[in-house]
Structure 1
Amino acid sequence: MKLQTGTRLGLYAVLELARDPARTLSASDLAERFGVSPHHLAKVLRALASAGLVRGGRGAAGGYRFIGNRRRVTLMDIVALFEPAPGRRGREPGDDTDIGRSLQRVLDEIDEIAEATLRSISLETMLKPRQ
């Protein structure tokens, strides 16, 4: 499963903010950490805010902070905000051939395994210190 850049940025931002929910970081601060444009990251942060995972504030004390539940929010919850649902991808050349259908069954199975894995990993699990 290849994730779009916006999806990866969403994961990075949520994990960074969930690391310390009391902390507020600006879009510029986060963009600098990830080496991306603040404009592109701002779009991602708006989607996360609409989903109720982060809250943004304006002004001198402005920025974003995590407001979700680290134990309940999974990586798939974030991915689903930015990626098409499995089976919703556009048609590609060769899809209607015997080989294309066979290959699609394998790719669908891979997507199902990846989705199950992403659903099983909470933000809390991701943020636990490694030993």
Structure 2
Amino acid sequence: MKLQKSTMCGLYAVLELASHADQQISAGDIAEKYDISLNHLAKVLRTLVRARLIESVRGPGGGYTFIGNPKRLTLLDIIALFEDTNPNPEQAAVDNHEESRALHKVLRDIDDIAMTTLRSVSFTSLLKLIDIERRNNEQNSPRQSVRVSASGA
């Protein structure tokens, strides 16, 4: 599945803010961490504010805070803000051949499975997965050690 840049920015922003729900994070910090254009991110953040998932705090030390419910918020909720997630009924009307109808049925079934999966993954689940990945990386990273030769040199 290929997602638009805006969608990915939205997912990254919500992940960052939800993982630090007790803090305000600046748009600049999010943009820097994920190598996102600050102008593009600002537009995405406005969409997330309008959706009442995040809150903007102005002024010195301001930024954004997560105000959504990570247990109820799903990947599909964010993706639907930036992508057209509705099936295209006009496509089915064009299918004049059995092969075409069969192929489009399979593709619609795949879309349905993808939507069901996206709808089933909450941000709480995703944040737990990120935490597991982080711990695995820490355990598997080679430790830097200073070796001293037997001669002491």
The two structures have a TM-score, normalised by structure 2, of 0.75
Aligned length: 128
Q: Is the 8 A contact 1:86 1:108 kept in 2?
A: no
Alignment of 1:1-131 (within 5 A): 1-88=1-88, 96=95, 98=97, 100-128=100-128, 129-130=131-132
Select the structure of larger CA radius of gyration: 2
- Aligned to 1:64, what secondary structure does the other structure show? strand
Instruction: For residues 16-66 of structure 1, give each alpha carbon's deviation from its aligned partner in whole angstroms, at most 9, with x where no partner exists.
Output: 100011111111111111111100011111111111100012211211110
Name whichever structure is richer in helix by fraction. Answer: 2
Between 1 and 2, higher relative CO (CA 8 Å, sep ≥ 6) is seen in 1
> Identity over the aligned pairs, expressed in percent?
50
The two structures have a TM-score, normalised by structure 1, of 0.87
Structure 1 runs, 4 residues or longer, greater than 3 Å off: 88-91, 95-103
Q: Distance in 1 between matches of 2:62 and 2:89?
A: 37
Q: What RMSD, in angstroms, separates the aligned Cα atoms of the two structures?
A: 2.0
21-30 vs 81-90, greater mean Cα deviation: 81-90
The runs of 5 or more residues in structure 1 that have no matched partner are: none
The runs of 5 or more residues in structure 2 that have no matched partner are: 137-153
